[in-house]
Amino acid sequence: MRHITTNDAPAPTIRGIADHSWQARGLCHNMPPKVIDALFFHAARARAAIDEAKSICGRCPVKKACFDYALDNEIRHGMWGGLTEDERRPWHAKVNKRLDYNRVKAAFEGRDIHLSEAEREAVTRHAYARGWSPERLAFALRLDLDWARDLMRNAAHAVADRDRYWDQDDETEEADDETAEDENVASPVQVPRQVQTDSLIAALRKAA
């Protein structure tokens, strides 16, 4: 079994989409509504308001949570996480391709995470590898049971195709090594195609 992982960076605290507790720590939390509207829901060319809002966001301890909240909930109007509507537009466009293994791990820990398609696929493949039932996957991802069955079926096909590809590739590499030995040519060092992060894999297994 081969695992695709990211790096060893410390995992941030991933909150569920229903958890709004971070908002109380925002620097804008106790501002009057009129001030919030003027600064964070400003007119398109209100440079003074934009600059002041960015200054506040730059010092805010929950700027990242604010940004994620806007992405997860498709909030396109106003300033969130220190970015204007125009600045966030590219992030909204590619949010469904996001693949953050910290979010994958959080989903295995039972948190209600708004997963992208790529993240849901990663959860499903790992759940399949761990022998999860479709019912357990449906509960974990809060999906319809038929949808969970389809995801598990797709994961089974994807894993089978991957293993078939790697088996063929391993045979090709063995043949190349034999040819190199016959010709007394040093075989090149094979660069691993995927990097395995043991700490993250262990965390995923524990969560599963």
101 in a structural domain: yes
Distance from C-alpha of 118 to C-alpha of 126, rounded to nearest angstrom: 12
Calculated CA dihedral for residues 29, 83, 46, 55, nearest 10 degrees: 60
Question: For residue 130, is it within any domain?
Answer: no
User: Is the residue at 178 inside a domain?
Assistant: yes
C-alpha 95/C-alpha 12 separation (Å) is 18
**Total tally of structural domains belonging to the chain:** 1
- pLDDT reported for residue 116: 82
Quick check: is 92 in a domain? Answer: yes
- d(CA 15, CA 65) in angstroms, rounded, equals 8
158/164 Cα distance (integer angstroms): 10
Taking phi over 0 as left and psi of -120 to 50 as alpha, with beta for the rest, 81 belongs to: left
Please indicate, yes or no, whether the overall pTM of this predicted structure exceeds 0.95. no
Sign, CA dihedral 166-170-172-173, equals: positive
CA angle 42, 46, 49 (to 5 degrees): 65
Q: Give, in order, the Cα–Cα distances in Å from 171 to each of 26, 98, 162, 165, 166.
A: 57, 34, 14, 10, 9
Residue 169 within any structural domain of the chain: yes
Residue 80's DSSP bridge partners are 83
Whether 95 is in a domain gets the answer yes
- The pLDDT tens digits along the chain (208 residues) read 444 444 444 444 555 555 678 889 999 999 999 999 999 998 878 899 999 999 999 999 999 889 988 888 888 899 999 999 999 998 888 887 888 888 788 888 777 777 888 888 888 888 888 899 999 888 888 888 998 899 899 888 887 877 777 665 555 555 455 544 444 444 443 434 444 456 666 666 666 5
Domain that holds residue 186: 1-113+159-208
pLDDT of residue 12: 46
> For residue 1, is it within any domain?
yes
Task: Please indicate, yes or no, if residue 163 is contained in any of the structural domains.
Answer: yes
